[in-house]
Amino acid sequence: MLESKDKLIVALDVDNLKEAERFVDILYPTVKIFKVGSQLFTACGPEVVKMIGKKGAKVFLDLKFYDIPNTVFLSVGTGTGLNYEILPNIGKGVIDATQLAVFMMTVHTKGGIAMLKEAVRGAKQKAEELKIAKPFVVGVTRLTSEENKGDIQSEVLEGARLAKDAGLDGVVCSAQEAALIRKEFGKDFIIVTPGIRPKGAAVDDQRRTATASEAIAAGCNYLVVGRPIIKAKDPLKTAEEILADIK
């Protein structure tokens, strides 16, 4: 069972290493997991991942790999390999993926079954080479910024089934689809949910949002919160309020 502090992921939606480190210093150890997405990784590369890991926090590497199978195989392997420079217990064995600094990363399910299988193989092969646990690999289904039009639940479910068949550990989806995915794929399938907003907060460019307690009730394992914390006058207080809602 995950503790409430293990369920919150704060998205470091900033564009430089100094600002990212400032937020980690403010929020850790109340917040234990930080998302590094395409904006921050483009600006800082692996250095921001190493900075977070060396402080003792964990990284959700959200780069949504979507390319030819061989490129994704290599990219996921490289992401897994970042742990080698961070983990203090390399060579002593790792109990499970939650001990890794880069403990989870994303691929896009629209890349297809062959690409998804290569993503899993890339993580496994590099982890075996380094003698560490394999990080979780989860598939992005539909972005939470997309409007709830058409049969979006069926599309998300189809993406989740593809992820499951390929051997992925779970998916990224909105809270609206989480209960259906949990029912369909069981308790061990990881569900990561962005678009979390405290009650009354601005939704920004998100369309399919939920509060933390609503997402947990729907069966989500990890909740990603960015701007409501990063843009708050008191980021730590806001994070604590969201953690209380999770609990």
Would you list the domain boundaries of the chain? 4-246
- H/E stretch holding 53 reads helix 46-54
Q: What's the DSSP call for residue 135? A: P
Query: How many C-beta atoms surround the C-beta of residue 145 within 10 A?
Result: 15
Whether 97 shows a pLDDT value over 90: the answer reads: no
Mean pLDDT of the chain: 90
DSSP tag of 204: T
CB 36 within 8 A of CB 11: no
Name 44's Cβ contacts closer than 8 Å, sequence gap at least 6: 16, 17, 20
Alpha carbon of 4 to those of 22, 108, 163, 202, 212: distances in Å?
A: 23, 27, 26, 23, 11
What 3-state DSSP class applies to 108? strand
Residues sharing a CB contact under 8 Å with residue 183, sequence separation 6 or more, in sequence order: none
Q: Across residues 90-108, what is the average pLDDT?
A: 79
Instruction: Report the C-alpha gap between 226 and 82 in whole angstroms.
Output: 23
CATH value of 4-246 in 1.10.3480.10, 2.40.100.10, 3.30.1490.190, 3.20.20.70 = 3.20.20.70
Which secondary structure element, helix H or strand E, spans residue 153, and what is its range?
helix 152-166
Look at residue 205 and tell me whether its pLDDT is greater than 80: no
Mean pLDDT score, 99-127: 96
* Sign of the Cα pseudo-torsion (23, 25, 30, 35, in order): positive
pLDDT 10s digits, 18-29: 999 999 999 999
pTM above 0.95, yes or no: no
pLDDT in tens, 128-160: 998 888 999 999 997 756 565 657 888 899 999
Q: Where are the beta strands (DSSP E) in the chain?
A: 8-11, 33-36, 58-65, 102-108, 136-140, 170-172, 190-193, 222-225
Q: Which pLDDT belongs to residue 24?
A: 98
Check 7, 32, 50, 64 and give the catalytic one. 64
Higher pLDDT, 85 or 207: 85
Whether 199 is catalytic:
no
For the segment 48-81, what is each residue's pLDDT rounded down to a tens digit? 999 999 899 999 999 999 999 999 999 999 999 9
More confident residue, 94 or 54: 54
